[in-house]
Chain A
Amino acid sequence: MFNLTVNGRSVSVDAEPDTPLLWVLRDHLGLTGAKYGCGMALCGACTVHLDGQPTRACVTPVSAAIGRRVITIEGLDSKAGKAVQSAWEKLNVVQCGYCQCGQIMTAAALLAQNPQPADADIAAAMAGNLCRCATYVRILAAVKEAAATLKGGQDHE
């Protein structure tokens, strides 16, 4: 039995310690926003926040999450996170959508740490998040849109 803090709630999970956090979230806790895409930290579809850091849940054993704050897309309610989500909706970023929760978690963590990133900062931060639908043009635009919103003054254009 493990006690975890997920989206601000304390939960207990009966899982083997080597079980990746991703499968605990998905199969044990029913939080399916984080996706499986590769299982090897190569695609970013499984990205969650661990103590605020974007983390690949597919290679993070559940035992490594004990005592740390786990935030999934379902619990994302930071200012940066909300700005990112509304920019994503406004710019119609999603296509199939499978990668997008991971993209949003990475983008939200980026903006929390660097509220006004340059294009190169965005490319570097998002490099680990693949999108097979190649929505990259809009991801880039939406991160910038969210950054502008956070800065203020861009809300009403």
Chain B
Amino acid sequence: MNEMIHIVNESRRRFLQVGAGLTLALYFRPGPAQTASAPTGEAGDAVLEPNAFVRIGEDNTVTVIVKHLEMGQGVYTGLPTLVAEELDAAWSQLRVEGAPADAKRYNNLLWGPMQGTGGSTATANSFEQLRRAGATARAMLVDAAAQQWKVPAESLSVSAGVVTHPASGRKASFGELVKTAATLPVPSEVKLKDPRDFVFIGKPVIRTDSRAKIQGAAIFTLDLRLPDMLTAVVAHPPRFGAKVKGFDASRAKAVRGVEEVVSIPAGVAVVARDFWAAQKGRNALTVDWNESAAFKLDSATIMAQYRELARQPGAVARKDGDPEAALANAAKVLEAQYEFPFLAHAAMEPMDCVVQLRPDGCEIWNGEQFQTVDQATLANLLGLRPEQVKINMLYAGGSFGRRANPHSDYLVEAAAIAKALGAGPLAGRPIKLVWTREDDMRAGYYRPLYFHSLRAGLDKDGKLLAWQQWIVGQSIMAGTALDGMVKNGIDPTSVEGAANLPYAVPNIQVDLHSPKLAVPVQWWRSVGSTHTAFSTETMIDELAQAAGKDPVQFRLDLLGQHPRHAGVLRLAAAKAGWEQPLTPGKAGERRGRGVAVHESFNSFVAQVAEVTVRADGGFAVDRVVCAVDCGIAINPDIIQAQMEGGIGFGLSAALYSAITFKEGQVEQSNFHDYPLLRLGEMPAVEVYIVPSTEPPTGVGEPGVPPIAPAVANALFAATGQRLRQLPLRLT
């Protein structure tokens, strides 16, 4: 950054000032009606801040502090909606600011004392909290008006950011009432609206982050520029578990712009004045690796070992009745094995973060998803107290679980670099760690490789009698800060979606093996359901066929105790025209329709997929009809968007994605060998939302699980082939 910046860009200027110690906030302009652009509190003196989530300024702006990471799922729109609803604010006066790391105020209510985003919990845990926050502020503004106008509070009404006394016609904006309201006590009890009176909830709005993101003004971590900032890239070991034996940095240091080369536990870091210099420096680096303890297996070997393990009893995640005995007496028994590869999250923004060490602490800028874990891990590494680790939450260019890493992996890497520079002339300068796509693909973390084995039996009437399932795959939580969640050898994230199979079956057992491997693994959008939905929903389809029943009706007959599963299934089938024959394809084409239904994160989704198999054996997914029940629909447009996106994301895994190991090395490196779905391959998607008065549940993940089994079932309908491996390959 030695060059003069010749182009002045207003939206970025504010961020260049950030290093001066100002609080970093993400301001947005929600729409053309936007009035002030100054952050709340600058324009006027008094500020009404009745709680940790709402701040109203004399400039009439309402700033909503969002404790969850905006990574595409829409929390910077959906959560402010809850505040605006109870506050009766005008949409145009809203601002959104990311919360600092502070679990005392901003913990995820579904995670106990921890702050963080994940498990599709943002809306569910905020629904009451943010409505209350808005209602509290509203009550204080009303009280202020009542006091000023000497009228009873009950005689006032509020709408679109204006308090009105209908009897006298008097009106005041929120901003005009702030000074008085700020002097009033914060009420401890507030009344929430009757859902019939909702004005924002249940209606689509323009996303608050849209404008900045389409103008290139939104700041992702990769875009952050701070005074004196340096950029670092890391030479990672070629195999997990390899260590640096030695390195020669002389050629790297000769690259113009390279400032320093340091060894850290994760590898060798090249620190430079900008990305390109760092990258050239890394290319010029020679590292000697000690691979004696390194991981050297092939994916095929791992799968073969897992296949063996699946024949043995494991930890029991569920047992009802006696499936062994029942299967011995079943009229029909089906057996199948399923294989799932490692998967990379491959967020469009590769992993990155900015770390600055100061004598009194550490400051982080990051698409921050796991505040409390990250604070604790970094504090431990740096010899600080957790509260000395200050975290600024920026937009994330996707995450899909990756930025909530139980080991804080890339943050630790950046902090280790900053620490290694500690005594030298570069001490204290902000370090931006950038992972290239190749780092992101090869340095972990992955959805674990899984193997499933399933046996299921029908009685002579075609009723489901018994179900036995063995799941083999690494535990995501064992050995991490979340180890306590693993009970009796069962990591719940390995068996979710299988252990709670919704279908009525008197005899069922689900066993789990959690072998250890040096491959680092992590949750990946919809976690356990990425594999359990596939095995269970394709097996149930096979059973329907074996019983001679329609796949939808066969499921419905077994879902008597699960009306919400049945509800989405019926809706999707009806909207897809399940009862009508599918339009035939062109000459030589075969078409098929398949269905799947799955619950994840307390939301229920059914999808009907239509496929066309061409004469050359290639196939396309043409249309997906999706029904979702996620309780009260806060923002139907975002729900729809998350279903569309979840389907597309799931299709990449169904059609293409696999991370494979050869002698311990990841074979993929970039999008040419880890392809993602492209626009022309995206099916037409229709989304239907089940009307509901249940509390809202998440939608970020639940759209993903049903698509792969629905497509596999459709391919069966078209070709008669049962596919039991992902990605799907017709033979």
Contact = CB atoms under 8 A, between A and B. Distances in A.
Interface in B654-703: 670-672, 676-680, 682, 684-685
Given A37-B348, A98-B348, A131-B348, A137 B215 contact: no
Nearest to A140: B679
A39 to B, nearest CB: 6
Contacts of A16: 256, 276, 280
Interface stretch (A19-27, A49-57, A147-155): A19-27
Contacts of B348: 35, 37, 43, 45, 96, 98-99, 130-133
B678 A127 contact: yes
Interface in B217-238: 217-220, 222-223, 225, 231
B210 A132 contact: no
Contact of A140 (B3, B211, B682): B682
A139 to B, nearest CB: 6
B437 A38 contact: yes
Contact of B72 (A38, A72, A95, A137): A95
B213 A97 contact: yes
Interface string A1-35: 00000110101111110011001001111111111
B679 A33 contact: no
Interface in B428-481: 434, 436-437
Interface stretch (B96-104, B332-340, B643-651, B722-730): B643-651
B214 A94 contact: yes
B216 A133 contact: no
Contact of A26 (B214, B275, B651, B680): B275
B5 interface: yes
Interface string B535-571: 0000000000000000000000000000000000000
A104 B214 contact: yes
A132 B704 CA distance: 13
A104 B7 CA distance: 21
Given A7-B7, A136-B682, A36 B222 contact: yes
A28 B397 contact: no
A101 B395 CA distance: 15
B256 A96 contact: no
Given A27-B275, A92-B641, A34 B216 contact: yes
Nearest to B678: A127
A29 B349 contact: no
Interface string B244-283: 0000000000001000000000000000001110001000
A30 B73 CA distance: 28
A140 B638 CA distance: 17
A35 B218 CA distance: 11
B347 interface: yes
Interface string A73-99: 110000000000100111011111111
Contacts of A13: 3
Contact of B395 (A97, A130, A132): A97
B637 interface: yes
A29 B5 contact: yes
Contact of A28 (B74, B274, B646): B274
B638 to A, nearest CB: 8
A136 B679 contact: yes
Interface in B317-351: 346-350
B526 to A, nearest CB: 14
Contact of A33 (B206, B215, B231): B215
A88 B218 CA distance: 15
B672 A138 contact: no
B1 interface: yes
Nearest to B700: A95
Nearest to A40: B670
B406 interface: no
Contact of A129 (B209, B672, B679): B679
Contacts of A137: 644, 648, 682, 684-685
A21 B617 CA distance: 41
Interface in B606-653: 637-638, 641, 644-649, 651-652
Contacts of B680: 120, 123-124, 126-127
Contacts of A97: 72, 209-210, 213-214, 218, 395, 397
A60 interface: no
Nearest to B204: A92
A72 B475 CA distance: 45
B398 interface: yes
Contacts of A19: 276
B512 interface: no
Contacts of A30: 5, 7, 9, 12, 16, 225
A9 B9 CA distance: 13
Contacts of B218: 97
Interface in B1-60: 1-3, 5-7, 9, 12, 16
Contact of B678 (A29, A32, A40, A130): A130
Contact of A96 (B219, B231, B398, B638): B398
A130 B72 contact: no
A127 to B, nearest CB: 5
Nearest to A75: B7
A72 B676 contact: no
A66 interface: no
Given A13-B3, A40-B672, A42-B670, A94 B648 contact: no
A12 B4 CA distance: 9
B390 interface: no
A73 to B, nearest CB: 4
Contacts of B685: 137
A64 interface: no
A125 B225 CA distance: 33
B179 interface: no
Contacts of B220: 35, 98
A98 B398 contact: yes
B71 interface: yes
B215 A133 contact: no
Nearest to A29: B7
A31 B7 contact: yes
A39 B436 contact: yes
Contacts of A23: 274-276
B349 A31 contact: no
B419 interface: no
B682 A96 contact: no
Nearest to B400: A132
16 contacts: A7-B7, A16-B280, A29-B3, A30-B12, A39-B670, A89-B210, A90-B206, A92-B206, A95-B72, A97-B72, A97-B213, A97-B395, A134-B644, A136-B678, A137-B648, A138-B644
Interface of A: 6-7, 9, 11-16, 19-20, 23, 26-40, 42-43, 45, 72-74, 85, 88-90, 92-101, 104, 120, 122-124, 126-127, 129-140
Interface of B: 1-3, 5-7, 9, 12, 16, 71-74, 204, 206-207, 209-211, 213-220, 222-223, 225, 231, 256, 274-276, 280, 346-350, 395-400, 434, 436-437, 637-638, 641, 644-649, 651-652, 670-672, 676-680, 682, 684-685
Given A95-B72, A101-B213, A130-B671, 7 more contacts: A88-B210, A97-B210, A98-B220, A126-B679, A131-B348, A137-B684, A140-B679
The 8 closest A-B pairs by CB, nearest first: A33-B216, A134-B648, A98-B397, A97-B213, A96-B72, A95-B72, A123-B680, A73-B216
